[in-house]
Structure 1
């Protein structure tokens, strides 16, 4: 995967996760701006208008996340502008070009970098990757259905109602370097273990083109670059006996500030 392709901090001994930061500081941050299958480079999905939803098979739910107590009413946070400047909810995905996806991800990363520094954390847009794999599309499972993460046209973008714009990963750095980190050190097999404290949680944020931020949080020693990632069969089918199903499901993030930031970034692309 390429930068996902053409494919959370210690404050007086306690972890400061982005989600909790978002709750405590959202009033101060709402104006903040922000694979190929045989490789281990980050990938960027190709999006088109989607028409159908594939049902997810999930092995387990996200545990011990500050977002896990989020009520179902927070499922969708998509916001569009109106004349009264009062946000209204939109549930539709936005068709974005690869360049637009990269711009939105870069803006969100810039915003996340500031949040990470405040929390004494590091953040990278290297949020998902895989090693040698098959030819099926890569995806993650969410309460809203499957989200396509890397398109390999099997089954293709039109089979997903939601597509990943990009994502970021928050972690407590081993080297003490805070804020945005451009590259992870070490090979794919090492993953975050080369840069993150294994005794502290790692949070992956996935940006959906429906305007929702999805989150997967686990202890550092339980998170790899491919954690949460699933894959369709080589022929584009999805069956429990053949497909690579994700072991973890992403939840809808309880980080209100992050949800609002993504919504704001998508406003120019909504018609």
Structure 2
């Protein structure tokens, strides 16, 4: 009888050990899954998070320098005054692209998570009404009031470029320059859940300027 009890005790203790090992294995596997999920989530936001304000400033300078050099041959002026909202809204502004909505201003309302893409920098090119080519210093203090008619030949296109955090360059060419302002092509995003979103009247598309796209894509990778 004692031998039977001893055998039953050994079997019971073995079952306990085996159960503990299985629980530990499952916990380890679950922890691994959670770590992978966290890593994956971090990777999805790493591109945006890794581009600091200082990085954006440097990228902007590189982009403007490239455009100024290459647009001179097209007799075009270049400026970074591609967007401005004035006091029309205290929320985030965005543009529509063929790849989704791109955030062009971040005031935290509703914030970066509400957008598919985010603008790293931007630029505008046009034919100067003063014959300026390359960087146009006259556009430095341009406001929404006078629009691009203050610096551009209104009979020729004004093209806005958006350099996104997905490595692509988007553009839209405005042909009626007289009515084009810094806010043209953009709209404020609803963030209070009450007012309907205003939709931009234009759709930015990936620029067909392959050299510009290649340049920007390589440039952005240095900061990722």
Specify the TM-score bucket, using the shorter chain as the normaliser: 0.7 to 0.9
**Alignment TM-score, normalising by the size of structure 1:** 0.62
- 2:187 matches 1:230: yes
Q: How many pairs were matched up?
A: 180
Give 1:215 deviation, angstroms. 0.3
Partner of 1:267: 221
Higher relative contact order (CA 8 A, sep 6+): 1
Q: Which has the larger radius of gyration?
A: 2
Bigger mean CA deviation after superposition, 179-188 or 210-219? 179-188
Partner of 2:62: 107
Q: Flag the 1:195–1:113 CA change in 2: closer, same or farther, 3 A.
A: same
Partner of 2:36: none
How far apart in 2 are the matches of 1:187 and 1:217?
Answer: 19
Q: Flag the 1:51–1:133 CA change in 2: closer, same or farther, 3 A.
A: farther
Give 1:51 deviation, angstroms. 6.7
**Residue 84 of structure 2 contacts residue 143 of structure 2 at CA under 8 Å; is this kept in 1?**
no
Q: Flag the 1:168–1:105 CA change in 2: closer, same or farther, 3 A.
A: same
CA RMSD of aligned residues (A): 2.2
Task: Mark the runs of 5 or more structure 2 residues left unpaired by the alignment.
Answer: 1-41
Q: Flag the 1:187–1:140 CA change in 2: closer, same or farther, 3 A.
A: closer
Partner of 1:204: 160
Partner of 2:86: 131
Task: Mark the runs of 5 or more structure 1 residues left unpaired by the alignment.
Answer: 1-48, 53-91
Give 1:234 deviation, angstroms. 4.4
Give 1:222 deviation, angstroms. 4.2
**Residue 91 of structure 2 contacts residue 107 of structure 2 at CA under 8 Å; is this kept in 1?**
yes
Give 1:138 deviation, angstroms. 0.7
